[in-house]
Structure 1
């Protein structure tokens, strides 16, 4: 990537282009932050899908502890009740900056499935929408931070 930039469709074709995107998308934050600008540039040249840029942006924001934009990221937390010590895993859609307009924003980047349907496909109840502050409170109920991403 240092020599050629992001391996877009013209260089490697759709399948390998998407494979590279998946590797970066499912990496840790420093890797995503390093390569995200290359992916944005490739998108401007038509070399990577806009929805992939949106999904990576959301993942990066989630890892930074910020609200996502397009509602593409689900997460989970292991909650330990301080009184009963009972463990419970809670899955949720990571907090969204503008939930009232999220489906419009999703469509604008080529994601046709509404966030409510997307959540349901992952067996997440979207009727409970968490804020960043609520997520922070969930983290404080744990001895060790625990996160699961989708």
Structure 2
């Protein structure tokens, strides 16, 4: 028997907290600093999320579980770097939810870039940078059509790329 939806929100939030703790990240949208060991811990939680939520309910959108838990589901998908199939599936479901105005376009932008980077393709929104100890922040893959990246970012509710890069620099 499926859990009540309020319980699903609690489960999603707990799974996200576990995933963030495992990968050493916080709730910010800074690039993940995930190791194979920490990703495997999050991977168990990802399997629960896939089975319990994605299979039974599709993307856990705002109407189903609320904004906080929907964002928590995005956190789990975003940090499931060792499970590209889960990320792709979550991306497809999240695209549908965003089109229905039932999930965050910003979350979709970050997950889109995360999947593109994993596949070695150019990013659409200019997220997903990595910190090089010698050279500072550098892109993980190029940005597709850089001349219109700020327009795509604005459509997703994200700050312009220059503002995002200043935030990354300030973070470290």
SS of the equivalent of 2:95 reads helix
Separation (CA, whole Å) in 1 of partners of 2:96 and 2:86: 16
TM-score computed with the length of structure 2 as normaliser: 0.60
Larger radius of gyration: 1
What is residue 85 of structure 1 aligned with on the other side? none
Deviation track 1:84-139 (CA, whole Å, cap 9, x = no partner) reads: xxxx465213310111111111112211x211121121118xxxxxxxxxxxxxxx
What number of residue pairs does the alignment pair up?
114
Report the Cα offset of residue 44 of structure 1: 1.7
Other-structure match for 1:73: 128
Unaligned runs of 5+ in 2: 1-53
- Contact 1:93–1:119 (CA under 8 A) maintained in structure 2: no
1:3 counterpart = 2:43: no
2:84 is equivalent to residue 32 of structure 1: no
Larger fraction in strand: 1
Say which of 110, 115, 137 aligns to 1:91.
Answer: 137
Between structures 1 and 2, the one with greater helix share: 2
Query: 1:123 is matched with which residue?
Result: 169
Q: CA RMSD in A?
A: 1.8
User: Quick one: higher RCO (CA 8 Å, sep 6+), 1 or 2?
Assistant: 1
Give me the whole-angstrom Cα distance separating, in 1, the residues matched to 2:136 and 2:85.
26
Match of 2:147 in 1: 100
Equivalent-residue separation in structure 1 for 2:91 and 2:148 (angstroms): 24
1:52 aligns with 2:112: no
1:14 has 2:67 as partner: yes
Runs of 4+ in 1 over 3 A off after TM superposition: none
Map Cα deviations across residues 54-96 of structure 1 (whole Å, 9 max, x no partner): 1111111011111101112212457xxxxxxxxx465213310
